[in-house]
Chain A
């Protein structure tokens, strides 16, 4: 039993719904109780989908238990075939359905339905959403393509001389982070290289499209959380190599171009494919203030790994924390964290992440919707870089994370929550000015400005809490006055650091000297 306040991933059947909702002409029947249908709103509200996900639920209730739940499965399956005539029917159970042991997959196989059936075993009590998506997509691809696999000893036919090289983009889904735009951007990139995109799947693919997957020369594993299993299987069965660099960030995009060229045997100069403004924007003088800003990163495996490299090498930040909730990617993230001199945080406990952020006091948090909560509460700037995300992270504008345009988007997105370089100096210069002071929000933050004042609120709450404790630390009036002279956006940190320093040194009263001792102690 595990105590969860918020959860980073849904149950595995939500992963199955993501696959069905991403595709066309597929229908998913879920054996599930009334209430599980809430999952529709993830797609229609958060992603503003204009159609219901192609899912039909048995929605059994207590009165159906023990007698007619199996019959409900059959009736639902027949109704779905009649109403939707899907090319493929996926059949699975939610966590409660699994406990009934009605075996809807077997029932469907034996029901002589008009559509081919692919049953998916979810194991809801051990797995989570991304596993469910990965497993569903794998079973679907395998179910459709197993009969066409290369025989032992057979080799993949070489590409005809008059055919352009081609790849499939494997893994993008609905409710993935910016998948819609990433697919467009990566397609553009490949087009520049003269590479044809054969099939994109599961996003917007039909089962018939999946049958064409073996025609491509290689598979781009664009969303490893979903695509890993399928790419591996395709490699074994169809000898399709895997292009595994995720083109997120300037360096990774160039590496991607190089890997595609090498895999497909192309002779392409990386410089000729494209470029972004990020290298120059990072080198321009205003970006000097970004130097060694302390950044905390927590995301799914793919986005965490990509963000760490971008943060350190392309933005000039210092990565002070790195973690993921994707247990499947724990090994990769651990290895990378080690390279950054860090211990990776592998957890799906939102409170553990909150504790880490609180202890590290980063200057920027890059995370999910959960870290957005944490950062908001602690008054820290934050940008969302990964699922789970909320409706504002499914924007109307074109906003890819991958390819060269993705670099531009990431630069803007990460810099925006910070106080800009020049403004930082002005704030210090004019901090007592009547219309440019602590209570006036930084101009570019607009309505979000209030967030910048929160460090103080947090600190004062903490203070109040601490006065109740024996051995509490007191601030001398002079020190308190000096503290007010520190720009508000770093004041919370200064207060914390000073108090921390005082505790460590066994001081009960903080005076001006303590304040500067602490400053010297923590300065880097």
Chain B
């Protein structure tokens, strides 16, 4: 079942081992859970099956007490039989929904596995519905299906679908666009840091309000806050934006390099950035040093899941002293990962794709001190005496930037601290 193709990279980065087999990952619909927290006047309507609705509520932990700003239009037998009716039904559901939620400023129709297999054209449906509700809100479509997207790629599809709506910049003066969902608190910190560097022409995409769309043009410099946004970057480049190649803002080194790469475009030297940000850097170092001791020298294996694996591996090995047993990620975009890959040791076992059973067999053989994996796998591994960190927390928790460095390290140290602390029972 496994197909292993090793190829040597000329650049001295680790060889990529490709695996194919059973994949234990969420689909892109899961992105809706953090996207709807970020874009506070958007509604996400999945056109799919009961499985989609069930996934969303299971992944969201059935813990949101307000009426959620996402829902599923569940396809029934009758919708499958006649496509014309299916479109009429969708129009009816959307009208019902909008009548209920007058506060919604943007509606996303989100494609799913079943809607794609039956070739229901949601882009077309969105255009049709836009004409009906034109003066009220913006309607567009993207795919979060498992056959097209893996977990965080849902956000990539969502943002890419918004790019055509971005207004064109009036001139080509420099403007920074930070792309990828960040927590409000992180956005505020980053704005302050950019201001300290004298960069005030900064937009965050997506913004907290759906109508706050940044302009795009030849003066736009794209700085990625998240590493999984390949299609969004391609769409922004088509509109004239230029990508700033950088590490991702995870860890002190990653965050510093990220600001330095952006500031360079504004003619600011690396040293200047380091000086300007000396206070938050020192604070982060102090906070991290307290957590670092529990991580240092511990072995770590990543199962493929969030696409954050490579930058996290860089942070945990470089700054926390962990030893990487294996880094697996659902897929690698060589251009967006270039800077990160160059920081990984050449002998790190780097896997693209997945074959669950063989990956688990390697975890059992390696017995790493910590395994980063999906939620469904964590408890079974714990029951086998292995410490785990479930990766969905990494996309729900503010982890980017200097002031979150210790929190990020803390996510990984907590299971290890707990192991030392508990005087009851045994994991091994």
Contact = CB atoms under 8 A, between A and B. Distances in A.
Interface stretch (B70-78, B175-183, B244-252): B70-78
Interface stretch (B5-13, B54-62, B187-195, B339-347): B54-62
A45 B54 contact: no
B73 A2 contact: yes
Given A35-B29, A76-B22, A125-B77, A41 B53 contact: no
A376 B62 CA distance: 13
Interface stretch (B88-96, B201-209, B278-286): B88-96
Nearest to A63: B147
Nearest to B87: A1
Contacts of B113: 33, 35-36, 95-96
Given A11-B51, A38-B59, A96-B147, A59 B96 contact: no
Contacts of B23: 34, 37, 59, 61
User: Of A44, A95, A96, A99, which is in contact with the most chain B CB atoms at under 10 Å from its CB?
Assistant: A96
Interface string A1-17: 11111110111011000
A34 B147 contact: yes
Contact of B117 (A3, A14, A65): A65
A126 interface: yes
B376 A11 contact: no
B166 to A, nearest CB: 27
Most buried by A among B66, B90, B114, B375: B114
Nearest to A64: B147
A144 interface: no
Contact of A124 (B27, B49, B65, B357): B49
Interface in A121-148: 124-126, 128
Contacts of B86: 1
Given A34-B25, A57-B22, A62-B148, A44 B66 contact: no
Interface stretch (B213-221, B377-385, B398-406, B410-418): B377-385
Contact of B71 (A4, A52, A124): A4
Given A62-B148, A75-B1, A124 B90 contact: no
Nearest to B89: A1
A173 to B, nearest CB: 17
A11 B23 CA distance: 20
A51 B383 contact: yes
Contact of A10 (B29, B51, B71): B51
Interface residues of A, number: 57
B50 A95 contact: yes
Nearest to B74: A2
Nearest to B392: A41
A56 B22 contact: yes
B96 A38 contact: no
A34 B27 contact: yes
B377 A52 contact: yes
A325 interface: no
A7 B379 contact: no
A7 B376 contact: no
Contacts of A390: 61-63
A58 B355 CA distance: 11
A506 B355 CA distance: 69
A50 B388 CA distance: 13
Contacts of B50: 4, 7, 9-11, 95, 124, 128
Nearest to B70: A5
A43 B376 CA distance: 8
A3 B97 contact: yes
A3 B73 contact: yes
Interface string A321-343: 00000000000000000000000
A33 to B, nearest CB: 4
B150 interface: yes
Contacts of B71: 3-5
Contact of A1 (B75, B375, B380): B75
B146 interface: yes
B58 A125 contact: no
A6 B70 CA distance: 9
Which one of B96, B150, B380 has the greatest number of beta carbons of chain A within 10 Å? B380
Contacts of A79: 1, 357
Given A38-B58, A56-B22, A373-B65, A1 B74 contact: yes
Given A1-B76, A36-B51, A44 B379 contact: yes
20 contacts: A1-B73, A1-B74, A2-B73, A2-B74, A10-B51, A33-B147, A34-B150, A35-B29, A35-B150, A37-B374, A40-B376, A41-B58, A44-B377, A62-B148, A75-B1, A76-B22, A95-B114, A99-B114, A377-B65, A377-B66
Closest 9 A/B residue pairs (Cβ): A35-B27, A35-B146, A40-B376, A50-B383, A1-B89, A96-B113, A95-B49, A10-B54, A41-B376
Given A34-B27, A38-B376, 4 more contacts: A5-B67, A35-B28, A37-B23, A124-B50
Interface of B: 1, 22-30, 49-51, 53-55, 57-59, 61-63, 65-68, 70-77, 79-80, 86, 89-90, 92-93, 96-97, 113-114, 116-118, 145-148, 150, 357, 374-380, 382-383
